[in-house]
């Protein structure tokens, strides 16, 4: 490899390292739960997952098992409202036969604390945990809020790439 090729490879590596990649977590499901139940905030991923960041193979929290039993909404955020209705009412709007929870059965209580799952969600509590507390986070202070998640910044990425090419151009001119 000649010097210019190494310089270019180094510049590209610098540019790529300066770019921030978006996390692979899906914001769609928590937002779908929030919308379907009219919650004040979206629940955390640990509602259904065993890890805070979610991910494949971690959809095993107690409430995750309950919602997975509906076979509604899995891999389909649009089906979350129907799955939650199935859990709450024992009825799946489009096809009542697919809901495993009967309307005469007691409402599912994933953590066994005596409060039905949907009631816990409406109280901003995690139905997979008996520890209590709100999943909406801190609400104290003057306008306190949780900082939003950082996403891919196209302007910063463009600036990093432009800087890398400028560095490459400078190195190339010096070599000549």
| Residues 168/103, Cβ–Cβ less than 8 Å | no
Q: What is the pLDDT of residues 5-25, one digit of tens each?
A: 556 666 566 555 555 444 344
Instruction: State the residue for tokens 């929290």.
Output: 61
Q: pLDDT at position 20, please?
A: 45
Question: Domain extents for the chain?
Answer: 25-148
Alpha carbons 134 and 157: distance in angstroms, whole number: 37
Tell me the mean pLDDT in the region 50-66: 85
Average pLDDT over residues 136-146: 57
Query: In 81-92, which positions are buried (b, 16+ CB within 10 angstroms) versus exposed (e)?
Result: bbbbbbbbbbeb
Catalogue the E-assigned strands of the chain: none
Residue 120 vs residue 155, higher pLDDT: 120
- Tens of pLDDT, residue by residue over 144-174, are 555 555 566 777 788 888 888 888 888 888 7
pLDDT tens sequence across 75-110: 677 788 888 888 888 654 555 456 777 777 788 888
In the chain, DSSP finds a helix count (H) and a strand count (E) of 6, 0
CA neighbor of 109 nearest in space, from 66, 75, 51: 66
pLDDT above 60 for 39: yes
């Amino acid at each position: 490899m000649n010097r210019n090729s190494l310089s270019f490879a180094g510049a590209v590596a610098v540019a790529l390292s300066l770019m921030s990649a978006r996390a692979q977590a899906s914001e769609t499901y928590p937002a779908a739960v929030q919308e379907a139940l009219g919650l004040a905030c979206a629940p955390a991923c640990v509602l259904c997952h065993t890890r805070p960041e979610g991910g494949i193979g971690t959809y095993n929290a107690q409430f995750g098992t309950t919602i997975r039993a509906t076979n509604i909404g899995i891999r389909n955020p649009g089906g979350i409202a129907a799955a939650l209705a199935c859990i709450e009412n024992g009825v799946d709007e489009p096809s009542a036969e697919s809901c495993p929870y009967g309307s005469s059965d007691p409402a599912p209580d994933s953590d066994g604390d005596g409060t039905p799952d949907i009631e816990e969600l409406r109280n901003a509590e995690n139905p997979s945990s008996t520890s209590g507390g709100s999943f909406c986070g801190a609400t104290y202070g003057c306008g306190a809020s949780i900082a939003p998640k950082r996403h891919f910044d196209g302007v910063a990425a463009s600036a990093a790439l432009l800087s890398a090419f400028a560095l490459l151009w400078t190195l190339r001119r010096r070599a000549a």
